[in-house]
């Protein structure tokens, strides 16, 4: 039974980035700031590797990148409202530095979306008017973050009993244990 649940969660994560409109396309990412206070934001799931590593894109000047450089522990929360399914992925985040990968993924981004990584000022900078954001012509601040999962918690809300399973990666294999919901 645990193997079937793991297969389902893997399929749902894969659908999150491959199927348009899937609820797992957007997830909540939690990091810790310099005072260890939790910080949350919604990010877009861009890719999943065969090892279930989650990739998202951001501006390398963003506060989340600065937080990840100081503390790489993260938690990602996914929720599927129709299935009443929640997945919580805990792991560590790494900034992708391989120029070949960066260049390849940058080339896949639509031109209109590239502007998100070319603002003159860093994300979160104060501005007077939202219509007066300046953009760079040749330079970009595109950054890929990869989350390496250490554990995934599956929670299915259903009748008569909810179903909760904790999966931990051990020596390249995922092992599941049932939990009280």
Pairing, β 38-44 against β 142-156? unpaired
Residue 29's DSSP bridge partners are 41, 76
Number of domains the chain is built from: 1
126, part of any domain: no
128, part of any domain: no
Q: Are 89 and 169 in contact (CB under 8 A)?
A: no
Q: Are 164 and 177 in contact (CB under 8 A)?
A: no
pLDDT above 90 as % of the chain: 93
User: What's the pLDDT tens digit per position in 106-121?
Assistant: 999 999 999 999 999 9
156, part of any domain: yes
103, part of any domain: yes
* CATH code of the domain covering residue 15: 2.30.110.10
Confidence of residue 138 (pLDDT cuts 50, 70, 90): confident
User: What's the pLDDT tens digit per position in 7-25?
Assistant: 999 999 999 999 999 999 9
101, part of any domain: yes
13, part of any domain: yes
150, part of any domain: yes
What pLDDT does 110 receive?
A: 93
155, part of any domain: yes
| Domain boundaries, position 40 | 2-121+136-179
Give the global pTM.
Answer: 0.93
In angstroms, the CA 85 to CA 132 distance is: 41
The helices-and-strands tally (H runs, E runs) of the chain is: 4, 9
């Amino acid at each position: 039974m645990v193997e079937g649940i793991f297969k389902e969660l893997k399929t749902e994560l894969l659908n999150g980035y491959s199927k348009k409109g899937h609820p797992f396309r957007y997830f909540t990412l939690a990091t810790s700031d310099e005072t260890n206070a939790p910080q949350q934001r919604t990010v877009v799931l861009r890719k999943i590797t065969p090892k279930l590593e989650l990739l998202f894109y951001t501006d390398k000047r963003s506060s989340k990148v600065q937080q990840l450089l100081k503390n790489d522990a993260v938690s990602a929360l996914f929720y599927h409202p129709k299935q009443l399914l929640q997945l919580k992925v805990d792991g560590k985040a790494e900034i992708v530095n391989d120029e070949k990968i960066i260049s390849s993924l940058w080339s896949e981004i639509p031109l209109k979306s590239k502007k998100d990584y070319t603002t003159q000022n860093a994300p979160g900078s104060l501005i007077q008017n939202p219509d007066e954001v300046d953009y760079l012509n040749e330079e970009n601040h595109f950054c890929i973050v990869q989350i390496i999962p250490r554990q995934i918690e599956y929670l299915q809300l259903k009748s008569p009993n909810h179903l909760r399973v904790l999966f931990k990666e051990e020596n390249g294999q995922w092992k599941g244990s049932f939990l009280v919901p």
